[in-house]
Amino acid sequence: QVQLVESGGGLVQAGDSLRLSCAASGRTVSNYFMGWFRQTPGKEREFVAGISWIISSTYYADSVKGRFTISRDNTKNMLYLQMDSLKPEDTAVYYCAAKQGPYRTTYLAYNYWGQGTQVTVSS
């Protein structure tokens, strides 16, 4: 089992920055692919960014490329999402997720999820 706990969400204005954190515990996550997803009411959970824990390859949705940065700290089992130049359309509940195996963008491929943290961007 892997436990994931997100933090760092909040209410900000357009153009501001936020950093989300995800603490991973339980089984070692060194063999897992980690991702950030987001969801708004009535919509499917959407891939935002992902990172391979071992080789640090990173992947981004087109909508956040150049504004968001995913990173991790192996020594602390922490995953981060630095969000810059936030836009109102970034408003969503953000989830940290983990899966074994390679990079995938579909939320159905992920086995472990955090509880989510709300990010609200006002215009």
- Grouping H, G, I as helix, E, B as strand and the rest as coil, residue 102 is coil
Q: Determine the pLDDT at residue 73.
A: 87
Q: Determine the pLDDT at residue 33.
A: 92
Instruction: Identify the sign of the CA torsion 95, 54, 69, 108.
Output: negative
Give 19-73 pLDDT, tens digit per residue. 999 999 887 766 789 999 999 999 999 999 999 877 779 999 999 999 999 998 8
Is the pLDDT confidence value at 100 over 80? yes
Q: Determine the pLDDT at residue 54.
A: 75
Which residue from 122, 119, 108, 102 is spatially nearest to 34, judged by alpha carbons?
102
Mean of pLDDT values over 83-99: 97
Which residue from 88, 79, 87 is spatially nearest to 110, judged by alpha carbons?
79
Q: Determine the pLDDT at residue 99.
A: 93
Q: Which amino acid is at 93?
A: V
Contacting residues for 59 by C-beta, under 8 A, at least 6 apart: 49, 50, 51, 103, 105
Q: Determine the pLDDT at residue 55.
A: 75
Output the six-digit token pair for 109: 């491929």
Q: Determine the pLDDT at residue 31.
A: 77
27 vs 106, residue with greater confidence: 106
